[in-house]
Chains A and B, each alone.
Chain A
Amino acid sequence: MLEVPGRVRPYLRRAFSVADASADTGQVELLVKTIGAGTAALEELIEGSEVRLLGPLGNGFGIDGLAGGARVAVVAGGIGAAPFPLLLRALEKRAIAADFFFGGRAESDLALLDRFEGHVSGEIFLSTDDGSAGERGRVTDLFRRRTQAGRYARLYSCGPMPMFAALAPIVAGLRLPSEFSTEAEMGCGFGACLGCVIPGMEKPFIISCTEGPVLAPEKIRWQ
């Protein structure tokens, strides 16, 4: 009996942020952390494998309305750093300085730091829950300690929902316009299955894949 490759999972496609993309080379970069069946299968792909990609889907971070010379904050939790290389490049092109706040549970969660070496125009602040890298504690607390009202023109964030829940009242207190790239398990990615909804303030649910995934925190009904 010969065992043939193939499996019953994963069945659905997986949603990833675009880390960077180049119109010149046609390359799209995804930063992927292996956490389950889908990412494990991707990890097993050998170089040169063909995969089918549906995208780009949904919205992205907005940089309109920021004046040259402005300063923004980028707050990332773990693999939540994935969408920021492209944003940092776009900001730099417009002469907008960005400080990068990057946190995780332990040093291993900050593995993407290498990818940002030389790509952050402002300061880099690190934190880990266990103190194995940067300051001990939450990245949201680190951000609160290092800022005050008026310091930043905008905040961009990506990470797990508990991080957003902690960050939302902080940015509200600072009256800091913010964009959170939210995370939800997605079935289709184009608004058909309605599986990826996020509780909303103005309406019961926001469809994350088509109306997001980047949302203003005041639109989200925090639980």
Chain B
Amino acid sequence: MTSSLEVELGSLRLKNPILTASGTFGYGLEFTDWVELARLGGLCTKGLSLRPHAGNEPPRICETPAGMLNAIGLQNIGVEAFLSEKLPRLRSMGATVIANVWGDLEEDYVAIVKALEGAQGLAAVELNISCPNVEKGGMLFGNSPSATASLVSRVREATRFPLIVKLSPNAPDLVESARAARTAGADVLSLVNTFVGMAIDPETARPRLSFGTGGLSGPAIKPLAVRMVYQVARALPDTPLMGIGGISSLSDVLEFLAAGATAVQVGTANFVEPGVSQRLVEELEKYCLGRGVGAASLVGRAHRLGPAPAEAGAEG
């Protein structure tokens, strides 16, 4: 048996299953003091829009038990500046780059992927249909399976890059959203984005974030995310998944792989320990070498052991 770390998610082949999540890794270049970008399975950029976007007024973040709430509001430099200023440098460093994109309207998403089409140094496109911190677009696409299907099929026609769709845990029925995205042409599903949450200052009785609500991330959401990955993997066993949610240790990685994710994205932990992604690559490498197993063989182990006892009561 091989102890290779390589994994395949449809047409997307990655050197290892450890990626970094959009919105937690800047454009990658912010992390070069701590991470050799080429060592990572991939990095997902800050959510890109057609034009530069200012984001929300502060305060934008607030710490919560075992995690944080954010309402950054997708501040980004725009797709044009990304292509001219960031991507060439990432490419020269040997990074595997996934462009995370978002828009207000279907047309915006189509225009962005067209702007990215053929870009040298890009490995895939990830559609953000699940950001809870903007007024329009974002999560509105992710919360309705029909809106998801319509958007994904239009974007599918507009790009030849492997297409990843990042799902919202706030959708009324995640499995239905996942099915809609897959049927409409998604190669890979990444799950999950942040959970809508809120924090209120007990003294002033005002929300701690200027946007009011925010997206909850960090270790606090890990069991929720593991359950969702497990559920979607069970319903759509042939769909490659990327697991996201509170990952900061090797055991977290193994847990998500066992639940059915072929790869994982490390998110909020990047803020606390900027070198965490590369550390996890090295720890997984050691783990696989020590056991003489390949990373791909670790995927879906929880399912091979049969359904969890509680699943008898859950819907298919």
A residues within 8 Å of B by Cβ?
A: 8-13, 37-38, 54, 184-185, 187-188, 190-199, 204-205
Contact = CB atoms under 8 A, between A and B. Distances in A.
A187 B274 contact: no
Contacts of B220: 8
Interface string B249-267: 0000000000000000000
B288 to A, nearest CB: 28
A195 B61 contact: yes
Interface centre among B63, B75, B218 (most CB of A within 10 A): B63
B55 A205 contact: yes
**6 tightest CB-CB pairs across the interface, nearest first?**
A195-B61, A204-B54, A188-B271, A8-B65, A192-B26, A8-B66
B60 A194 contact: yes
A193 B24 contact: yes
Interface centre among A185, A191, A197 (most CB of B within 10 A): A197
A40 B202 CA distance: 18
A195 B72 contact: yes
Nearest to A52: B273
A13 B270 CA distance: 11
A131 B33 CA distance: 49
Contacts of A196: 58, 60-61
A199 B70 CA distance: 17
Given A11-B219, A11-B272, A188-B271, A193 B63 contact: no
Interface in B31-69: 31, 33, 46, 54-55, 57-68
Contact of A192 (B55, B57, B218, B271): B271
A54 B274 CA distance: 9
Chain B: interface size category = 20 to 34
A9 B58 contact: no
Contact of B57 (A8, A13, A195, A199): A199
Contact of B55 (A8, A13, A184, A194): A194
5 contacts: A11-B64, A12-B68, A12-B271, A193-B23, A199-B58
A194 B75 contact: yes
Contact of B274 (A9, A188, A198): A188
A101 to B, nearest CB: 27
B30 interface: yes
B102 interface: no
A10 B64 CA distance: 8
B195 interface: no
B25 interface: yes
Interface string B56-92: 0111111111111010100100000000000000000
A197 B220 CA distance: 25
A198 B63 CA distance: 18
Contacts of B55: 194, 197, 204-205
Contacts of A8: 65-66, 220
A205 B54 contact: yes
A150 B271 CA distance: 44
Contacts of B26: 191-192
Contacts of A54: 274
A11 B136 CA distance: 31
Contacts of B271: 12-13, 187-188, 192-193
Contacts of B65: 8-9, 11
Given A12-B271, A197-B58, A198-B58, A191 B72 contact: no
